[in-house]
């Protein structure tokens, strides 16, 4: 049975840019009853002219136009042009399944999301809606505070006030109340499980169970019994009847963690369950209907995830109705002071230690440290600093972090560095500004070189330049 399409947005303007008129027309027909106005463009040279009269909220962008060109350079140039607009639209790139690396390159360059052709209608609409939510959240956040609008998500325990974290919260607030399956992507320790719990807590299922399953840790031989349950005597050792995780999470949320480690055979079984929305416990004659929302997570990068030998595309499309990407901490390092403050306070309480200040030099080194283990690494470093540090202020070495990789940024030392302070965002802002100016000056304005020297991504550097008005 076809599921009901949950989203509509009568005020949104969507632009579809694809040289294949059939594809542009198919997308237009699908979207016109759900979004305000839909425009198509089959010749990208007409974009500049079109943008004089049309202000799209979302652009669906093909990446190759000239026959024979497959490097995506034409689409990426259009992406740059769209981003240079005064009020840039969210851009969702459209690629063939085999071109996922290209789509990932576009994400790094500022695209909001991507879809593969041929698309799944429900997925396309949900992707556009998610992009709209994020875009409108930016405008709204200028007028009102987030917490007063979304108390459940504000309570999620997700610390950080960077643009990335605010976007994430806005997306959670809009996605959580729906029943859409969500896939969370991000490196180890970025907070994927925290995000999954926040989705559950802000959903209509919050009163029921949130059950987490580590898919990588379940051996294939016991996976069916663990997930779907078994009847007594259905295999050697099945001494009693056992409900599987799908049944245990009834009415609630099942969090499938480490999805990328799931063996292909197990993926086929999971697909059948999701398609039929029922499980048959081992040894049972009758299937049991299931009512769970699936939230999944993986630390695999998207290029690997889209490899058919790693993950079945049919299962992927069942799970990724909404994709949430949690950026690594090094790309939102303005969150570091707030996280430090939170976890230092947490462990001071736990170990009953007195509060101590963090020196400016230490703080700037911590902010510029690349945090390969993300927030989990920061949390553990805070615990070490509480246990090991015994000076009047926290010193960088107290955090037990490797020193060789901490010098991604050279922050100009000033006499003020010898002062101490509690974690003070105003001072931090000026240190950050100074570091960016220094990096830009030595890279002679070359953004790529400057971002490399600072150890952050190009989009992160652009955001910071915008923030500081540099």
Q: Contact 442/375 with Cβ under 8 angstroms?
A: no
Least distance from ligand ATP to the Cβ atom of residue 338, Å: 8
Between 257 and 432, name the residue whose CB sits nearer to ligand ATP: 257
Q: How far apart are CA 202 and CA 151, in angstroms?
A: 9
3-state secondary structure of 61: strand
Question: Is 327 a binder of ligand ATP (CB under 6 A)?
Answer: no
- CA 346, 351, 356, 357 dihedral sign is negative
Question: Could you say which of 56, 75, 189, 370 contacts ligand ATP (CB under 6 A)?
Answer: 189
Q: Is 299 in the site for ligand ATP (CB under 6 A)?
A: yes
- The residues, any chain, with a CB within 8 Å of residue 245's CB and separated by 6 or more, are 211, 213, 226, 227, 254
Q: Which parts of 88-107 interact with ligand ATP (CB under 6 A)?
A: none
One symbol per residue from 120 to 159: x for binding ligand ATP (CB under 6 A), - otherwise; what is it? -------------------------------------xxx
Using CB under 6 A, pick the residue from 125, 223, 358, 375 that binds ligand ATP: 375
Record the tokens describing residue 274, joined without a space.
Answer: 């999701």
- Per the CB < 8 A criterion, the answer to whether 100 and 316 are in contact is no
SS3 118: coil
How far is it, in rounded angstroms, from Cα 126 to Cα 171? 12
Beta-bridge mates of residue 94: 62, 115
279: DSSP letter: E
Nearer to ligand ATP, 17 or 326 (CB): 326
**CB of residue 172 vs ligand ATP: minimum separation in angstroms?**
12
Q: How far is the CB of 195 from ligand ATP (least distance, A)?
A: 7
| Residue that the structure tokens 């990068």 belong to | 301
Least CB distance from residue 241 to ligand ATP, whole Å?
A: 31
Single residue of 325, 376, 384, 452 touching ligand ATP by CB under 6 A: 376
- When asked if residue 288 is in the footprint of ligand ATP (CB under 6 A), the reply is no
66-74, 279-287, 375-383, 452-460 -> range binding ligand ATP (CB under 6 A) = 375-383
* Contact between 337 and ligand ATP per CB under 6 A: no
Helices (H), 203-308: 220-228, 245-248, 264-276, 302-305
Which residues would be at the binding site for ligand ATP (CB under 6 A)?
157-160, 186, 188-194, 299, 375-376, 379
């Amino acid at each position: 049975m076809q599921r009901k399409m949950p989203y509509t947005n009568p005020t949104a303007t969507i632009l579809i840019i694809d040289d294949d008129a059939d594809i542009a027309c198919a997308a237009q027909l699908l979207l016109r009853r759900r979004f305000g106005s839909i425009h198509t463009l089959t010749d990208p040279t007409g974009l500049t002219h079109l943008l004089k009269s049309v202000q799209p909220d979302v652009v669906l962008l093909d990446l190759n136009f000239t026959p024979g060109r497959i490097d995506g350079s034409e689409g990426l140039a259009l992406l740059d042009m769209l981003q240079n607009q005064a009020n840039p639209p969210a851009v969702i790139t459209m690629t063939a399944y085999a071109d996922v690396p290209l789509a990932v390159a576009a994400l790094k360059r500022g695209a909001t999301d991507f879809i593969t052709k041929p698309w799944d209608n429900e997925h396309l609409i949900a992707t556009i809606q998610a992009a709209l939510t994020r875009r409108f959240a930016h405008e709204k956040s200028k007028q009102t505070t987030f917490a007063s609008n979304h108390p459940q998500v504000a309570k999620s325990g997700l610390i950080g006030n960077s643009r990335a974290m605010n976007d994430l919260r806005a997306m959670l607030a809009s996605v959580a109340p729906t029943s859409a399956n969500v896939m969370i992507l991000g490196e180890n320790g970025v907070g994927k499980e925290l995000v999954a719990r926040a989705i559950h807590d802000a959903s209509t299922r919050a009163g029921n169970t949130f059950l987490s399953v580590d898919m990588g840790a379940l051996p294939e031989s016991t996976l069916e019994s663990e997930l779907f349950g078994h009847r007594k005597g259905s295999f050697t050792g099945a001494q009693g009847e056992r409900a599987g995780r799908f049944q245990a999470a009834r009415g609630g949320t099942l969090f499938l963690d480490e999805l990328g480690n799931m063996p292909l055979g197990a993926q086929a079984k999971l697909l059948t369950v999701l398609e039929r929305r029922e499980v048959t416990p081992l040894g049972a004659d009758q299937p049991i209907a299931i009512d769970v929302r699936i939230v999944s997570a993986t630390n695999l990068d998207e290029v690997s995830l889209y490899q058919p030998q790693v993950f079945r595309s049919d299962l992927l499309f069942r799970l990724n109705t909404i994709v949430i990407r949690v950026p690594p901490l090094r790309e939102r390092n303005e969150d570091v002071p707030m996280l430090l403050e939170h976890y230092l306070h947490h462990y001071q309480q736990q170990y009953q230690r007195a509060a101590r200040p963090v020196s400016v030099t230490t703080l700037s080194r911590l902010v510029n440290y690349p945090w390969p283990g993300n927030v989990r690494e920061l949390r553990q470093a805070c615990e070490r600093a509480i246990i090991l540090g015994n000076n009047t202020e926290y010193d960088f070495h107290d955090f037990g972090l490797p020193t060789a990789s901490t010098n991604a940024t050279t922050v100009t030392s000033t006499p003020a560095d010898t002062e101490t302070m509690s974690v003070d965002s105003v001072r931090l802002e000026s240190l950050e500004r100074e570091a960016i100016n220094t990096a830009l000056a030595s890279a002679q304005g070359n953004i790529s070189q400057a971002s490399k020297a600072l150890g952050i991504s190009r989009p992160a550097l652009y955001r910071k330049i915008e923030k500081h008005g540099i």
